[in-house]
Chain A
Amino acid sequence: MTNRVLALLTLTIALALCVSPIAAHHGSSVYDTKLTTYKGTVTDFQFMNPHSEVWFDVTGADGKVEKWTGEAPSLTTMARLGWTKSIFKPGDQVTFTGNVAKSGTKIMRLRKVVFPNGKEMMIDRGEDYAE
């Protein structure tokens, strides 16, 4: 639990340092408007309010592993769209599509996921107050 909290804290520190003082906490302006897709291996998943977080490893062509975070809307919103706390399990091979943070921090706001069984799910950001 501590490692996950530290990981989340670290990435929010890195992200926040690059964020202007007037940027909104939940603003979408700190994320790239174009979509990026990664195939990753899930390492952890926190189903919670106000944001759900899934951590995944992306192995590059050179064999280097990058650690990424996919951020989804709140538990209450995603539960209504079919998510449960078991929707991601460590080891799952998932394709994540989203808006990557402009700062270079390895976090993306999820827009679409493709589950190991091939099922696709769009994530409508407008459905949640956090955009």
Chain B
Amino acid sequence: MRNRFPGLTFALLVALAPCPAIFAQTAPPPKAKTQAAATPDLSGVWRRSRTSSDKTRKHTIYELAFTISDDVPPMTPWAEAKYKANLPNLGPRAVSLGESNDPIMQCFPPGVPRAYLIRGEPIEIVQIPGRVLMIYEYDHFIRNIFTDGRSHPADPNPSWMGDSVATWEGDTLVVDTIGFNDKTWLDNDGHPHSEDLHLEERIRRASHDALKIDVTIDDSKAYTKSWTAHWNYELKPGWNLGEMICEDNGTYSDMQQKSEGGK
């Protein structure tokens, strides 16, 4: 349809043209999106979800927590030799209690990421200024994950649980951990790692009751490529972490070992 009033239209446009600028002056300033945004809240007691992703079945805690993932990449010859020498008391390669050289049998720390797996017990995340505390029910280990902007030490002392620093990427806590000794197993099956182990955990709250932890394992001395495990955790609102003392397992194991003839 032809515009019958081109002159009027033109005049209106001219008159209204400054309006966006006027509106901009009077509208409230847009909300700052960086510093003022609230830190995501990951806090709570969380436990591996037993429901499969497609909701068709429930896994046992044992199934979930035996290895980091189903698809551990090929090991280097160095790691293969260590894997053969690591003798677990559980799973398809299990040996007797007396024969197992699993370091947790003597209650040495499980290291990371095995601390998440070791008996499938829950974790608790506590956020305080400058730090996220990752607390494991297993033998009450606590990791200090520094969020105050610091970097790793230039030459970290090798430790059982590593040195962790983290930053926030949107809603995700990105944890970088190095500085491990090589005395721990990566999982309950006895997969080894070297002192060069470098972990990245990406932790975010997918919904109020769901936490996702994606763990990337990078250790070229032991594995031919890095890989990522995807873990689903669910919130346990009524739970507190219980007291789980590694030495209690030892007492039970001692009794079993004696019964196996002190091998």
Q: Which of A1-45 contact B (CB under 8 A)?
A: 5, 8-9, 12-13, 15-17, 21-27
Q: Are B95 and A9 in contact (CB under 8 A)?
A: no
Contact of B249 among A15, A49, A75, A79 (CB under 8 A): A49
Contacts of B249 in A (CB 8 A): 49-50
Q: Are B61 and A129 in contact (CB under 8 A)?
A: yes
Q: Are B60 and A131 in contact (CB under 8 A)?
A: yes
Contact of B94 among A16, A23, A75, A79 (CB under 8 A): A23
Closest Cβ of chain B to A128, distance in Å, is: 6
Knowing A126-B58, A126-B60 are in contact, say whether A49-B248 is a contact too (CB < 8 A). Answer: yes
Interface of B, secondary structure class, is loop
Q: Which of B224-263 contact A (CB under 8 A)?
A: 239, 242-245, 248-249, 252-253, 255-256, 258-260
For chain B, the bracket of interface size reads 20 to 34
Knowing A9-B259, A80-B239 are in contact, say whether A125-B248 is a contact too (CB < 8 A). Answer: no
Closest residue on chain A to residue B236 by CB atoms: A80
Q: Which residues of B contact A (CB under 8 A)?
A: 50, 58-62, 65, 89-91, 94-97, 99, 119-121, 137, 239, 242-245, 248-249, 252-253, 255-256, 258-260
Q: Which residues of A contact B (CB under 8 A)?
A: 5, 8-9, 12-13, 15-17, 21-27, 48-51, 74-76, 79-80, 125-131
